[in-house]
Amino acid sequence: MKAVLDKSPDYASLKKKNKFINNLKRDVWLYALLMLPFAYILIFRYAPIYGVIMAFQDYNIFAGIKGSEWVGLDVFRFIFQQDSFYRALKNTLALNVYDLIAGFPAPIILAILLNEVRLAKFKKITQTVLYLPHFLSWVIIGGMVYLMFSNSGMVNTFLANLGLAKIEFLSQKVPWLMTYISVGVWQHIGWGTIIYLAAMTGINKELYEASDIDGCSRLRKIWHITLPGIKSTINILLILQIGRMVSIGFDRPFVMGNSLVSDYADVISTFVYRVGISSGDFSQATAVGLFQSVVGLILLIGANYIAKKLGEDGIW
């Protein structure tokens, strides 16, 4: 990169327009590389927005968007009359709040613990092992959970052999929620940890040295140096997480849910799957998706606004 900068001509002598073209010429390969993610976002994130029109139509899959009949807000009216929609919305928010409470601090704590480990080899191995579940598909995790936590699963057989009562991990409300949340934390913890560890390496080492001279204890160092050092990272991740509050992945609730817990496991994504893909009612599915995005946007802007008011950096 240094070489590139060295070559840059004298800016002051150039007009604005030339400057732009020159910039472009100079970094043409970087821009070419940028085109790839740019094209990705354009094709997969912006182009599909066209399909939002379906939410305002009685969409006929054979006639397409051009040939379908406009119905205004009828689809939304129909959705807002359905109890199952409110149930899905409520469950989505509830599961996300629990996830936030349990899942957000976990990687921070783990990252701090790993950061304090002296043995580099142990640290690396632990990090890798913790990171591995991130690559497992939920279908596989679902199978593992069934084998371990069902009524005749490993854990319950063990409990029974100890003479203890069985716990219905997968069919009762509270145990199911606990299982759902903890399995989620187990899967995500490694991924979050890596981000925080990266942020920690950016903290100036001299601060630690200075605190050593001042006779700081380990906990003090964590409290006064490490945590403030990763504060902005925590902040941004928290804002993003809040923005995602209304959206929820499909696989996890779908795989872990079953008919006995449908009252709390049916979320917006499974609702959309059911009405959209299973019943073929694409208008309804689109309308719910649109609703979800709008609420998500409001939450994101709200969280960002509050963060800025509190004197922190927002995401923009």
Partner 1 sequence: MNTGTKKKAAILFSTALLASIMAGCGGNNGNNEPAASNDGSPAAEASSGPVETLTVEVFDRGIQGQPDLNNNTWTKYVNEKFGKPNNAVVKFVTVPRSQEVDKLNVLMAANEAPDISFTYDGTTVTRFAKNNGLYTLDELLEKHGQQLKSYLGDTVLDYGKYEGKQVSIPAKRTLLAWSGLFIRKDWLDKLGLPVPTNKDELYDTLVAFRDKNPGNVTGVIPWGTAAAGMNYSFGNLVPSFWGPMSEEEFVTTTNWLKPGNKDAYKWLNKLYSEKLISPDFALDKTAKQADADVTNGKVGFYGANWDYPLTAKMREPLKQNAPDANYVPIDVFKNAEGKYIKETYNENGLFSFIPKSSKHAELAMKYLNWMADPEVLFFLQFGEEGVNHTMVDGIPQGIAQTGENMQMSNLNLDYTLIVNGAELGDTEKNVKTYAAALATGDKDYEKMAIDSYRINTTDGYTGFYYGVPNEASIKYGKTLGDMNKQMMDRLIVAKPAEFDALYDKLVKEYMDAGGKAVQEENVKHYREIKESGK
Which residues contribute to the site for partner 1 (CB under 8 A)?
2-4, 7, 29-30, 32-33, 36, 60-63, 82-84, 146, 150-152, 170-171, 258-260, 262, 274-275, 277-282
Nearer to partner 1, 209 or 263 (CB): 263
CB of 217 or CB of 259, closer to partner 1: 259
Nearest distance from C-beta of residue 293 to partner 1, angstroms: 21
Q: Whole-number minimum distance, CB 61 to partner 1, in Å? A: 4
How far is the C-alpha of 139 from the C-alpha of 146, rounded, in Å? 11
Q: How many CA atoms lie within 13 A of 247 on its CB side?
A: 17
Separation between Cα atoms, residue 225 and residue 208, nearest integer Å:
7
CA dihedral 121→127→130→132, nearest 10 degrees, is -100
Nearer to partner 1, 203 or 255 (CB): 255
Residue 152 Cβ vs partner 1, minimum distance, rounded to whole Å? 6
Our CB check for partner 1 shows the closer of 192 and 253 to be 253
Residues with Cβ < 8 Å from 312, sequence gap 6 or more?
231, 232, 235
Tracing tokens 């946007």 back to the chain, one arrives at: 297
Q: How far is CA 239 from CA 57, 110, 304, in A?
A: 34, 20, 6
Least separation in angstroms between CB 298 and partner 1 = 29
R_g of the chain, CA atoms, integer Å: 25
Beta carbon nearer to partner 1, 40 or 305 = 40
The whole-angstrom separation of Cα 214 and Cα 197 is: 25
Query: At closest approach, how far in Å is the CB of 258 from partner 1?
Result: 5
